Amino acid sequence: MIDSLPVEISDQVNKACNIINKHLGSTLAAVHLYGSATDGGLKPYSDIDLLVTVNEHPNEEVRRALMLDLLSVSAPPGKDGKLRALEVTVIVYSEVVPWRYPPRRVLQLGEWLRKDILEGNIEPAMEDKDLTILLMQAREHGLALIGPEARDMFEPVPEEDFYKVLSDAPRLWTKPEDWIGDERNIMLTLARIWYSIETGRIAPKDTAASWLLERLPAEHRPILHKVRQAYLGLCEDSFDADGKEVESFMRYSNKAIARLLDERHFNHDSKM
């Protein structure tokens, strides 16, 4: 057991590590805990985020067995008093060191994939731009559960690639059907993107939301405040009656983020 693990998740994390070690064995290079557990503190709906690094691609049999076993120690957010949702990302060391963009992942487990995994549909290895942010988080605040510290394993992410990811994400959410049912996570993600563009850093979701609340026009503050409160478990996590306010915030934020990115590119180009 790692002494510095948050007590409330230590048993679940150790079970997950045992499963990972069982299936990946001699190819396993490291397991790092990152995310809310190591930066900002776990919130009511926080996942347990694990980055798993291996030295070679697991075969199909191992991939399926690993995913199924990990699901046995995971639960959808808020559905189990003892288990949190696991989010496990598996990478091959030689595919991220030396650094190249976009990076690739071998496997990913999350509760949103539970149905597919149980039906035997395991995602193939693929490029994943979000790994850029994940690796930055692991280097900055990751806790080594197995293997060396992330800062010693992985190279720093170039600033240019960090901003590439930030510029791509908002394009995913341009109309209500893109965010209905996941308003809390998407609005908080936009707050984090906005914060990162302005500061060059990555912050926990509630920290980024607090930062943005001080900068938003008054008309958009109530809905972001509600979202932050829901994330902290201080109010109901439902936005069925807030459709107009959510859409207004989304459109305003997307435009503001696009403008900030354009300004950054202009300033960057003018210095060259």
3-state SS assignment for residue 29: strand
Tokens coding 22: 């069982």
In contact, 107 and 86? CB cutoff 8 Å: no
Predicted confidence at residue 3, as pLDDT, reads: 60
Q: Which amino acid is at 145?
A: L
Token readout for 142 is: 């990751």
Q: What is the pLDDT of residue 270?
A: 43
| Prediction pTM value | 0.90
SS3 category, 90:
strand
Question: In tens digits, what is the pLDDT along the chain, a chain of 272 residues?
Answer: 456 788 999 999 999 999 999 999 999 999 999 999 999 899 998 999 999 999 999 999 999 999 999 999 999 987 878 999 999 999 999 999 999 999 999 999 999 999 999 999 999 999 999 999 999 999 999 999 999 999 999 999 999 999 999 988 778 899 999 999 999 999 999 999 999 999 999 999 999 999 999 999 999 999 999 999 999 999 989 999 999 999 999 999 999 999 999 887 645 544 44
For the chain, the 3-state helix, strand and coil shares in percent, each to the nearest 5, are 55, 10, 35
Distance from C-alpha of 111 to C-alpha of 78, rounded to nearest angstrom:
12
The CA distance from 249 to 260, in Å, is 16
CA distances from 109 to 58, 113, 165 (A): 15, 7, 21
Strand order in the sheet with 28-34: 107-109, 86-92, 48-54, 28-34, 143-146
CB neighbours of residue 18 within 10 Å = 12
> How many other CB atoms sit within 10 Å of the CB of residue 158?
12
Structure tokens at 73: 């120690």
What is the C-alpha to C-alpha distance for residues 260 and 254, in angstroms, rounded to an integer?
10
Phi and psi torsions of 146, nearest 5°: -140, 135
For the chain, which residues make up each domain, given as ranges? 7-156, 160-271
Catalytic residues: 87
Whether CATH 3.30.460 fits 7-156: yes
* Structure token digits, residue 8: 């409330």
Helix boundaries (H) for the chain: 7-24, 60-71, 114-118, 131-141, 150-153, 159-168, 183-199, 205-213, 221-231, 243-271
